[in-house]
A and B are shown apart, each in its own frame.
Chain A
């Protein structure tokens, strides 16, 4: 044999679970693009309007070509349509600044530089592992502030994936290794605590078999510390070797058994060597390995002892072992296993059977055939496994503890308060997973658990189960429309849903009669009303499926998937934001993720603080960019009406070029990096503030239109203010007149100041850098203008700006006009801000006010109190009409189903986690309740 290829290509598990990485775009980017299209339409319509008006206006020849302004011969001869088209293009060029090209550059810079703050964050650095957060893509920074669903893996993410052998139960007797050593190999622990008295006779034999089974039935590899004289050293110090396995459970088991006296030494020439309690080395020939897979959920080995007996040891999940057991103390073990599972321990059952040589040769033959099969190999193998692995004798069960990550519960609680729904997706069995969920406060004591499991589906049909569940959920939430903050009010009944992989695949499976949509919808409806969902027994691809299901549901929520293992990669790739934990199970997840963090607890700061900041920063940045370009270009547009639609620019070329590059770019970039509208500590302390920015609140159409209109208003003020100032009057004290460039410079000066001061008004966090940038860019503008107009520039073929700025500054009315126009254009925005803050403050604004007061008089405050006050409102988010139509569609959907209690209807008006509530929303839900009763 010159080479063997084992598990390569597309048939490997890795490849099968692999998903093509699709490009991820953030919600902000999407709305940015939509806004851009709007502006493109505005640009084109502006150019069209001006072109049409130009030709209407020019229809009289004395306007088209007055005696003082003749065209050249070629111009005159040009075709009318060609001329019109050229004019159209010229207008496009003139107005093209309304499309903020520089915005894309700034946004990219903001994202790239901003992501450094994440990696620099000391609090997100993990001392133990020496790892800090990693940013693999900076495109999704702001998406971290928009998360509505968190899908988290359990093992290694919520829990430490630091397996620790807790106990084993042999024939109903419980053994506990008496030193809890956190999975580390301790050198002097050989003792065993036996809760029950030592069993006699057959019990003893079973016990030894059990230990041997655990020692043999695994795929652990031994790595010697010192490979030269490894064996010797091993014998002397007994344990200087390291166990390596793809599954930490196995390592924990082998190490646990080691502490109970049986040490697995190595696999040599197909012989497994075991050091037993009497320090003798036992050798077993490894005949077959029936490897683990997630469908069977068990693995087996066939070994031949030195005595010649052939054993089949099997280890696996209780649900896959118990049906195959024919003898053993099933009841006692089962109860123990269940107890352990409830405590959140990972349990495995161990069973064996003795094979005669004949049986073995049969089995071997079958295996051989199956392995060599060219078609349906997997299916055949599974069949063979099914045949071989039965009629077991139950030996016992093991329990391995996977400890919760530090502050996992705290993090989950905070996320739920922030209005984020947390789903746990795990491959573990239901009981174990549920226990972990209780431990990390995903489920609380008063959470009513709904189960959608294979067991239940076997009893009733899927249809009935789903309807029952939806009825419970919807009826209840129907009577609780008023209550909206599931995370905050403890008196509210909330639901937790548990679903397993099999049930999920039933739901996802397309029906023959084409009614599959209904199940999905119904399932989503149930999920929407549950505060927490646990999906257990999930295959990696199923995890991605779930994420996709939620992602594509009709609200299009923003999802985040977090996981640490290779099995989470597909869901990490599927979700809007994928987060990898730099954990024990390799770097697969961290490398495929968008962001990687060392611990689950860091998710809290990442979302609530960094995400929130990033979102607030970039949304202001985007809106501001559109705003400042409207302010910039709209006066040009207006000027066309006064210059015969001749595409005459209002501003000098230098100003046109530098406006976006130097005069107004740095302050907003800095805002995009530094702004903290609320302090980071407050954001962390008050997760509910996250709801204020949920659902892309700052980039809604309302906000966009507000900013655009503000821009248009300001532009009108600039232009007509200057117009009225200049129109047919003298504005100098020496009687001399100003020309068109002075006019444009005046407008431009007002523009630069207004736009910069507008940003200054929006800045809530003035560090010295902000001061430097904002005042610096204004000073730069002045210095530049002085310089630009102060010299006859030899390389220019026009000197139109010569002394224009200085002359303007020497005129009193120009100063007065500039001050007046700046004041007038800033006034409405200030007024809007103050009034909104005073009359309809958002939670964020309340906190800001409160912390202000707090700074003034030193007093404790509990911001939670203010959140409960009924006037709670999120800025610009009261889109009750949209929600209304939503509700109606649901209503019609409901009426189609017969047998549904009509009283469930009110529920549709109040899903538990509405991120923004307006007073209008309240009123509406109230009326909805009345009509249905």
Chain B
């Protein structure tokens, strides 16, 4: 007893789907030819593309777990052993404790002349066989603070002459001083680490200076591509930096950082190292290299050493600490017990889980499969 609408007529005339139907229009060319509306029988359109259909079951995952276990545990052990073979020696020379030789320098300020110096003696129990890397470490120093991180001008550091005289706004409040643009501008450059560390080996009461190499501590690409001195006539850096002023806290301008021309100005490696902002508030930065001289002697023999510090860098005001670190390096970097332990742990867990899964698989697996395939 259908209803008496005269809706019937609508059926004629419209070759279907012409009424703004999104799907309809697109099928089969939509030209209105009714016959072509039949969809193509292609594997894609019929969702029948050949496919690999993996399923994660205990059976398939078991080998993976065992394999992960078997690979990770040896790697972990390898890393752990390597890490343990690395020699590392660390001295905190902040001088907060009254007994510390550097205690007198604790409250230095930037412009204290003459600079405060102190000497710390220490003893290396073991000799450092291979090349030794000397780091300075700072704690509680927020190099990753947003205001700090962005306070630099990369085009100025890249040698762009217009940026040199007109540094980016990001450098505020270290952009200009006495109406002269600062080069290098910004908070990072302004707060560059400027303690000087010297290492002496005490050999029969005589202090033998350990030669420190100051090149090769920055990324090659940074030194050769990213950081460039301004260009102009001649190689006289003093002339090239004409019209700029030194950062407020620096004792000397940037073109007097080093005597060697290929380590001076913006391409001074100490400066480049400092400009790479650290990820965490406790960090270390590469300071010097100590190369092994010959194969007969270790780089640093076991024995007494003294560290001469020109203490310029104030950290006490923000509760910071300063350290000097001597470390050897292996293929996997410095001492880092975490990676080895983590590998061993994860490998063991995987292995253990593999065993658990094996048990489960045997206990429950049969029931399931037998339920699935009644033969």
A848 at the interface (CB under 8 A from B): yes
B342 / chain A contacts, CB cutoff of 8 Å: 721, 724, 820, 824
CA distance A841 to B365 in the complex (A): 11
Q: Interface range on chain B: under 10, 10 to 19, 20 to 34, or 35 or more?
A: 35 or more
CB distance from B73 to the nearest CB of A (A): 12
Q: Which positions 232-267 of chain B face chain A at CB distance < 8 Å?
A: none
Given contacts A66-B318, A112-B22, A838-B58, 13 further A-B contacts (CB under 8 A): A70-B174, A120-B46, A122-B45, A135-B24, A565-B7, A646-B142, A731-B336, A735-B133, A800-B154, A816-B332, A817-B339, A853-B372, A861-B373
Q: Which of A373-381, A434-442, A579-587, A684-692 makes up part of the contact surface?
A: A579-587
Contact B7 A585 (CB under 8 A): yes
Chain A residues at the B interface, C-beta cutoff of 8 Å: 13-14, 62-63, 66-73, 112, 115-122, 125, 127, 130-136, 138, 155-156, 161, 219, 244, 246-249, 291-292, 294, 297, 317, 346, 427-429, 540, 565-567, 582, 584-588, 591, 613, 642-644, 646-649, 674, 676, 679-680, 721, 723-740, 742-744, 761, 764-770, 792, 796-800, 802-803, 806-807, 811-813, 816-817, 820, 823-824, 827, 830-831, 833-835, 837-839, 841, 846, 848-850, 852-854, 859, 861-863, 865-866, 869
Residues of chain B contacted by A833 (CB below 8 angstroms): 56
Establish whether residues B10 and A742, one from each chain, have CB atoms under 8 Å apart when the complex forms: no
Within residues 158 to 176 of chain B, which ones have a CB less than 8 A from any CB in chain A? Answer: 158, 168, 170, 172-174
- Closest residue on chain B to residue A153 by CB atoms: B2
Which chain B residues in 271-286 approach chain A with CB under 8 Å? 273, 276-286
Q: Interface centre among B49, B170, B353, by most A CB within 10 Å?
A: B49
The 7 closest A-B pairs by CB, nearest first: A730-B334, A135-B23, A68-B191, A743-B279, A586-B7, A646-B146, A120-B45
Q: Nearest residue in B to A163 (C-beta to C-beta)?
A: B2
Shortest C-beta distance, A135 to chain B (Å), equals 3
Contacts of A156 in B (CB 8 A): 2
- Distance of A843 from chain B, by nearest CB (Å): 11
Of the candidates B5, B37, B46, B219, the one whose C-beta lies within 8 Å of that of A14 is B5
A430 to chain B minimum Cβ distance, whole angstroms, is 12
Q: How far is the CA of A866 from the CA of B371 in the complex (A)?
A: 5
| B-side contacts of A731, CB under 8 Å | 332-334, 336
- Find the A residue at minimum CB distance from B39: A120
- Is A248 within 8 A of B279, CB to CB? no
Set A728, A768, A849, A859: member contacting B368, Cβ < 8 A: A849
Known: A122-B41, A676-B47. A735 touches B373 (CB 8 A): no
Does the CB pair B285–A585 fall under 8 Å? Answer: no
Query: B147–A726 contact, CB under 8 A?
Result: no
| Known contacts A643-B145, A728-B284, A839-B360; A13 and B56 CB within 8 A of each other | no
Q: Are A733 and B329 in contact (CB under 8 A)?
A: yes
The answer to whether A219 and B318 touch across the interface, beta carbons within 8 angstroms, is no
Q: How far is the CA of A725 from the CA of B51 in the complex (A)?
A: 39
Given A726-B280, A859-B373: A852 and B38 interface contact (C-beta under 8 Å): no
25 contacts between A and B (CB under 8 A): A13-B5, A66-B318, A68-B318, A70-B187, A116-B26, A134-B24, A247-B2, A291-B4, A294-B1, A646-B147, A726-B279, A729-B335, A730-B133, A732-B329, A732-B333, A736-B219, A737-B273, A740-B277, A764-B53, A799-B154, A824-B346, A827-B346, A837-B55, A853-B373, A866-B371
B343 CB-CB contact with A under 8 Å: yes
Task: For B304, list chain A residues within 8 Å (CB).
Answer: none
A66 and B142: CB pair below 8 A? yes
* CB pair B368 A846 closer than 8 Å: yes
Q: Which of B1, B146, B282, B372 contacts A427 (CB 8 A)?
A: B1
Q: Are A802 and B226 in contact (CB under 8 A)?
A: yes
Chain B residues lying within 8 Å of A846, measured Cβ to Cβ, are 368, 371-372
Q: In the docked arrangement, what's the CA distance between A115 and B27, Å?
A: 11
Question: Interface-forming stretch among B13-21, B114-122, B294-302?
Answer: B13-21
A297 to B4, CA, bound (A): 12
* B residues adjacent to A (C-beta < 8 A): 1-11, 14, 16-17, 19, 21-24, 26-27, 34-35, 37-41, 45-58, 61, 68, 72, 75, 79, 131, 133, 135, 137, 141-155, 158, 168, 170, 172-174, 187, 190-191, 216-219, 221-222, 225-226, 273, 276-286, 289, 314, 317-319, 327, 329-336, 338-339, 342-343, 346, 349-350, 353, 357, 360-361, 364-365, 368-369, 371-375
Chain A residue numbers with a CB within 8 Å of B6 are 246
Query: Considering the chains assembled together, what is the distance between the CA atoms of A116 and B75 in angstroms?
Result: 50
CA distance A743 to B141 in the complex (A): 17
A125–B285 Cα gap in the complex (Å)?
A: 70
Decide if B35 touches A591 in the complex (CB within 8 Å): no
A740 with B286, Cβ < 8 A, contacts A67-B314, A792-B225 known: no
How many Å lie between the Cα of A292 and that of B1 in the bound state?
A: 10
A156 (CB) vs chain B CBs: closest residue = B2
Contact A134:B2 (CB < 8 A) given known A729-B334, A734-B329, A820-B339: no
- Complexed CA–CA distance, A733 and B79 (Å): 13
Select one of B14, B141, B158 contacting A792, CB under 8 A.
Answer: B158
With a CB–CB cut-off of 8 A, which chain B residues contact A740? 143-144, 149, 277-280
Nearest CB of chain A from residue B171's CB, rounded to whole Å: 10
Contacts of A866 in B (CB 8 A): 371-372
Q: Is the CB of B53 within 8 A of A765?
A: yes
Give A69 to B149 CA distance when docked, in angstroms: 10
CB pair B329–A62 under 8 Å, yes or no, is no
Residue of A nearest to B374 (CB): A865
Which of A244, A725, A767, A768 interacts with B338 by CB under 8 Å? Answer: A725
Q: A800-B154, A834-B56 are in contact. Are A767 and B49 (CB under 8 A)?
A: yes
Q: Which of A13, A127, A728, A807 contacts B283 (CB 8 A)?
A: A728
The answer to whether B58 touches A834 (Cβ under 8 A) is yes
* Least Cβ–Cβ distance between A861 and chain B, in angstroms: 5
Of B40, B52, B72, most A-chain CB atoms within 10 Å = B52
Contacts of A643 in B (CB 8 A): 142, 144-146, 281
> Contact between A647 and B146 (Cβ–Cβ < 8 Å)?
yes
User: Quick check: B16 and A582 within 8 Å, CB to CB?
Assistant: yes
Chain B positions within 8 Å of A850 at CB level: 372-373
Q: Which of B75, B190, B276 has the most CB of A within 10 A?
A: B276
A799:B372 contact, CB within 8 angstroms: no
Question: Which of B27, B56, B221 interacts with A830 by CB under 8 Å?
Answer: B56
- Whether A865 lies near B137 (C-beta < 8 A) is no
B161 to chain A minimum Cβ distance, whole angstroms, is: 15
Contact of A737 among B9, B284, B343, B365 (CB under 8 A): B284
B279 pairs with A136, CB closer than 8 A: no
Report the separation of the CA atoms of residues A642 and B144 in the bound assembly, to the nearest whole angstrom: 8
Q: Which residue of B lies closest to A814 (CB)?
A: B333
Instruction: Judge whether B3 and A646 touch: CB under 8 Å.
Output: no
Checking A135, A733, A744, A768 against B21 with a beta-carbon cut-off of 8 angstroms, the contacting residue is A135
Contact among B21, B152, B332 for A136, CB-based, below 8 A: B21
Q: A115-B22, A122-B46, A765-B51 are in contact. Are A803 and B219 (CB under 8 A)?
A: yes
Q: Please give me the residue from chain A that is nearest to B320 by CB atom.
A: A66
Closest B residue to A833 by CB, please name it.
Answer: B56
Check B3–A567 contact: CB distance below 8 A. Answer: yes
